Amino acid sequence: MNDHYRIVLGLQDERLNAITKTALEEDLVGQVVGIALTRKNIVPRVMEHGANMIIVADELIGDTETDDEWLDLIEELRRYDFHIRIVFLCTRSVDDLFLSKLVLSNVTDIFHEGKLPKGWTTQLRQAPKYENTELFRNKSDAIADDLRKRKAKQKGTPEEILQQPLIPQAAKQAPPGAESTPAAEPQVITEVRTEVRTEVRIKKETEYIYEQIKISPKSVAVVSLFEGAGSSTLTRLLAEEAAALDVEVGVMEAASPPAAWMQIMNAYDLVEQIRNQSKGKRWQSWHSALLDMDAVPAWEDALRIQGVRYILRDPDVELHNWTETETAELLTYSKNVSLLFSDISTAYHDPREQIILKSADIILAVGNYDAMRLARGRQKYESFLSKYGEKTLLVMNKSTPRLERAHSPVIRNKYAHRKLFHIPVMNVFLETYMDGESFWTSGYVRDETRQEMRERAHEMLRAILGDEVLKKLKARRRGGLIDRIMRYFKDSDSDIEADEGTA
C-alpha cells in the first residue's frame, strides 16, 4: 500500500465512506485512518491520526452549514498543517463562486458533479495539478478581494497583528503506523542562551565552568538611501557572520521592492532540490502563501543557506494585492528567530514597509559618498526616515580612508548622526556575491581582506547585539580552535593553564 497519504473521510453517508475507503486502499492512494461524522470533528480527527489528506462532502453536518463555515474550517486545517491535501465532493455548477473561493484557499481537488468521477483515485495518487481546478477559476480577482476583506476583519489592525504570537507551521505529519501524540503548544522565542565554556586545567585535571549568554530577539530593518547603495549585500554579510557566531538568524525580503534575493543567493538550484525531494511539490514563498492560504509553511520549508534562514519572494509571483496586514503577518511569523534582518531596499517610503520600520529595534540606512545621489535622496530621507533617527545607524558603503577623512564630517552633520559605520570598497566583495558565493567562505578572498571586513561587521553587530554579548560570542568561536590546539598538546601539560572558549 502507498503510505504517502494518511486519509480522513467525511462523506456523511456511512456506506459511501466504506466504499471510498476500499477504493482508496485497493488503488494504493493511501490508508484511511479516521472518519469524521460532522464538520466539527474534522480537525480533531486529522490531528489525532496525523492525516495529510482529507476527503469531505458538502453535505456533511455542520453548526451553521454555510459556505463560510467551510472556509473557516479550511483555514483551521491550514494552521495545523500547511500542506494537507483537501478533496471536496459536492453538487454545484462550474460557475458557483464558492468553488472559486475553494481554489483560492488551495483546495487542489474538487469533484463537483455529486459523485466521484472515473479515474479519481489516479488523480489522488498523483501530485496536485493546476488543470484539476482550472474550471473553477472564474472571476478570481473579485473573489480574492472578497476573501481578503473577510480575513482582514478577523485579523485586526497591523499593530494588533504584531502583538500576536504567530508561529510557522510545525511538522505534524506522523509517519504511517506511528502512535499519535498530542501536538506541543507552539513557543515563541523570547531569548536564546548560548553556553560559553571556560576550561581550567590544573595538573591534567579538567574542570568546566559554564556561563550563559542571553540574547534578546532583535529586529533590524535595512534600507538603501538610493538605488545600488547596497542594503542587500550588507544584509547578507551581517547575517552570515552572525550565524557563524551561532546566533539564530533570519533574512526577510520585503514585498514592495522588485524581487531580487533569489538571484542574490543563487537559490534556484536549492528550490529545485526541494522540489525533487518532495516528489514534485512546488516550492512556495511565504509571501505568496500568506496571500493564497493565510498561513506560512514550517521553518523547514524556508531556504537555509550558510546557517541563515531566508524568507524570500518568488520572482515569478506578483504581489499585487499585498497590504499592510500581510506585511504585519509576515513580519510576525518571521520574528521567530533571535536576529531578523528585513531588507526593504529603497521602498522605505511605502506605507506597507513603514510597518517594519516602526517595529524595528535598529534601522541600518545604507549609502555611500556619492554626493549627487545622496543629495537626490535627501528629501525622501527627511520625509520618511529621519523620524526614526534615534534607532537609525548610517552605513557608508564602498568607502576609502580618503573619502572618510574628506566627507564624513559633512555627512554626520547633514544627517545628524554622531557616528558613521563604514564598509570598505573591495572588488572581491562584490564579485563573490555576484557569483552567488559567500564572502566569508570563498577561496578567492585573502585572509587579511576577510579579517578587515569582519572587524567592520563586528562593529555593526556590536551596535545591534550589545558589546557584552558580542564579546562572549567571539570568545565562544575562538574557544573552538583553542580547545583543539590544547587537546593536541595536553599530554605534555604540567603547569596550570587557563583557556576561555566553548565546547
* Class of domain 5-155 (CATH, top level): alpha beta
Distance of CA 152 to the CA centre of its chain: 21
Q: Contact at 8 Å (CB) between 280 and 272?
A: no
Q: Show me where the domains of the chain are located.
A: 5-155, 214-485
Residue type for 302, please? A
Helix, strand or coil, per DSSP, at residue 28: coil
Please, what is the average pLDDT of the chain?
Answer: 79
What is the predicted pLDDT for the residue at 463? 94
pLDDT band at 146 (very low <50, low <70, confident <90, very high): low
Proportion of the chain above pLDDT 70, given as a percent: 75
Higher pLDDT, 154 or 333: 333
What is the predicted pLDDT for the residue at 375? 85
d(CA 487, CA 306): 28
Helix, strand or coil, per DSSP, at residue 54: strand
Contacts 24+ apart (CB under 8 A), 88-91: 88/56, 88/58, 89/11, 89/55, 89/56, 89/57, 89/58, 89/114, 89/115, 89/116, 90/57, 90/58, 90/114, 91/58
What are the pLDDT digits (tens) for 313-358? 988 888 888 888 889 888 888 877 889 999 999 999 999 999 999 9
What is the predicted pLDDT for the residue at 280? 54
What is the predicted pLDDT for the residue at 160? 67
Residues 407, 410, 413, 415: what is their CA dihedral angle, to the nearest 10 degrees?
A: -70
Contacts 24+ apart (CB under 8 A), 378-387: 378/414, 380/349, 381/225, 381/415, 383/349, 384/348, 384/349, 384/354, 385/223, 385/348, 385/357, 386/416
DSSP line for 186-241: P-----EEEEEEEEEEETTEEEEEEEEEEE--EEEEEEESSTTS-HHHHHHHHHHH
Q: By mean pLDDT, which of 84-93, 245-254, 275-284, 303-312 is the weakest?
A: 275-284
φ and ψ of 256, to 5 deg: -80, -45
What are the pLDDT digits (tens) for 40-58? 999 999 999 989 999 999 9
Q: By mean pLDDT, which of 425-429, 456-460, 484-488 is the weakest?
A: 484-488
- Reply yes or no on whether the pLDDT at 34 is more than 60: yes
Contacts 24+ apart (CB under 8 A), 264-267: 264/232, 264/233, 264/236, 264/433, 264/436, 265/236, 265/303, 265/305, 265/310, 265/312, 265/436, 266/435, 266/436, 267/303, 267/305, 267/310, 267/312
Beta bridge partners of 195: 212
Contact partners, residue 364, CB within 8 Å, separation at least 6: 220, 221, 222, 223, 231, 234, 392, 393, 395, 460
What are the pLDDT digits (tens) for 155-187? 567 666 666 655 555 433 333 333 333 333 333
Q: How far apart are the first and last CA of the chain?
A: 47
What is the predicted pLDDT for the residue at 104? 79
Q: Tell me, what DSSP letter sits at residue 176?
A: T
- Reply yes or no on whether the pLDDT at 502 is more than 80: no
What are the pLDDT digits (tens) for 371-426? 888 888 889 999 999 999 889 999 999 898 999 888 888 888 888 787 899 988 88
- Reply yes or no on whether the pLDDT at 197 is more than 60: no
Superfamily for the 214-485 domain: P-loop containing nucleotide triphosphate hydrolases (3.40.50.300)
Q: By mean pLDDT, which of 98-112, 284-298, 303-317 is the weakest?
A: 284-298
Residue type for 478, please? R
pLDDT band at 123 (very low <50, low <70, confident <90, very high): very high
pLDDT band at 298 (very low <50, low <70, confident <90, very high): low
Higher pLDDT, 103 or 295: 103
Q: Tell me, what DSSP letter sits at residue 443?
A: T
* 100: number of Cβ within 10 Å: 24
Where does residue 337 rank: exposed (0-12), middle (13-18), buried (19+ CB within 10 A)?
Answer: buried
d(CA 395, CA 220): 13
Beta bridge partners of 187: none
d(CA 308, CA 19): 49
Cα–Cα distances (Å) from 126 to 250, 286, 375, 389, 475, in that order, read: 34, 24, 58, 55, 52
What is the predicted pLDDT for the residue at 488? 46
Cell numbers linked to 418: 554622531
The answer to whether the 5-155 and 214-485 domains have the same CATH topology is yes
Cell numbers linked to 93: 455548477
Q: pTM for the full model?
A: 0.63
d(CA 168, CA 335): 10
Where does residue 23 rank: exposed (0-12), middle (13-18), buried (19+ CB within 10 A)?
Answer: middle
Q: Contact at 8 Å (CB) between 11 and 55?
A: yes
pLDDT band at 239 (very low <50, low <70, confident <90, very high): very high
* 123: number of Cβ within 10 Å: 17
d(CA 221, CA 41): 43
